[in-house]
Structure 1
Amino acid sequence: MSEQLEKDNVPFAYEVRYSRRRTLALYVYPDQRVELRAPRGCPEHVLQAFLVERRDWVERKLQEFARRPPRRFSLAEPQPYLGHFYPLSLHQEPPYGVWLAAGRLQLRCRSPEEAPRLLAGWYRRQAETVFAARLAACHQAMAWLQLAVPRLRLRRMRSRWGSCSSHGSITLNLELIRYPLRLIDYVLVHELCHLREFHHGPAFYRLMDAVLPDWPQRRQELRALAGRMPPWPDGGG
């Protein structure tokens, strides 16, 4: 869950992640996300006191990251797809489009300026197919829960991998198409579990343990890989 702690004079948004850990920890990321990791059942007033105590440190880190020049998409940088990094080959001739061939992402476009938009569109089309197939597979693996089949939506999200609405729809971060299938499945299982347990309470984590026992390892893999990802291609998606 994400909250704004203005009432406690902590002027930054933060996300709480509950787990089996025994201590509190704060993480600040280059994209300005602030994550508080806490033991399950930790009282709200303890979380807020911890944040207030470390406010100055968080603000210094946020300012430090804000001063760094943002990375830009580069045609010279290998681009990820389903966990593999592929060099780009640019061809300024028809037929125009994007193909994965000979271990490279082949981009055919009229000019290099069109390449980011073309690649972003290709990512979206792949995500529509791959995510739908993985949702069906994960839903089938959880058939014993008798969950309704959720509506699937895709969009880029700055600080979340997925979300689940109270109306039973799941939204996935489009950028997950660059990650391995096992990590896409982890996010899908997480959101499917929210159809039964909407909040991050003990019952939710018991359900996650039952459905995907190695989910903590997958979550760590996702976080580690996120730090290696090149910028999303400019031009949307």
Structure 2
Amino acid sequence: MGLAIVLTAATANAATLDVTLNNVSPSQTFGYSTNGGSSYKSTKAGVFNWTRTGGSHVGDPVGNFRSFCVELTQNISPGSSYTYDVVAVEDAPNDGFASGMGTAKAALLSELWGRFYSPLFDADQAAAFQVSVWEIVYDGGVDLAAGSFQAQSLATGFVTLSQTWLNVLDGTGAMANLGAMTNPNRQDHIYELPTPTNEQIPAPAAATAGLMGLGLLGIGRKRRSA
């Protein structure tokens, strides 16, 4: 009961983004499985282009910005507007039931973005990047031919490129500063933060609690010293 109250309060106090999805471009059609190859679906894989129209969040993203999807179980439509909560990448996605990929996957996404993202992506590169994001979020490894998340056609050019990028990730590459936006009823996304500030990437609840504990400890020490 106490945990539920804390989580509800945290969601209610989250900074928000009001955004409109313009299109998904450049992109390619991608066949995938999330159940180890038992069945397949298809979707667009590529760059999501947005315009921010409001929200309580202060700072980036502002104006037009780009993102990549981290949630395949929900949908959004070009031309539609949505309100999202601004969260740390490790706390995304949030499908209303379970949330948070954790810090290890968030670090892989940061390295993927730092190593390979370009605003000049063509359709194959954009699709390869999006597929790489999904592989990191939905699997415990980085093999598009194994695990829960699998590509339907491994011979497709952008799938091959995605696997090449995934194979390079080892924790030693450039790390991008990323943020995430989540809605329990809509598809969640990550985006780059060109000007990092403390407000742009909220600290996870556990980290916040730890910092509060350290602060209280410091106060206690000062009082004892006095």
Pick 1 or 2: higher relative contact order, CA cutoff 8 A, min separation 6: 2
TM range (shorter): under 0.3
More helix by share: 1
What TM-score does the superposition give when structure 1 sets the normalisation length? 0.24
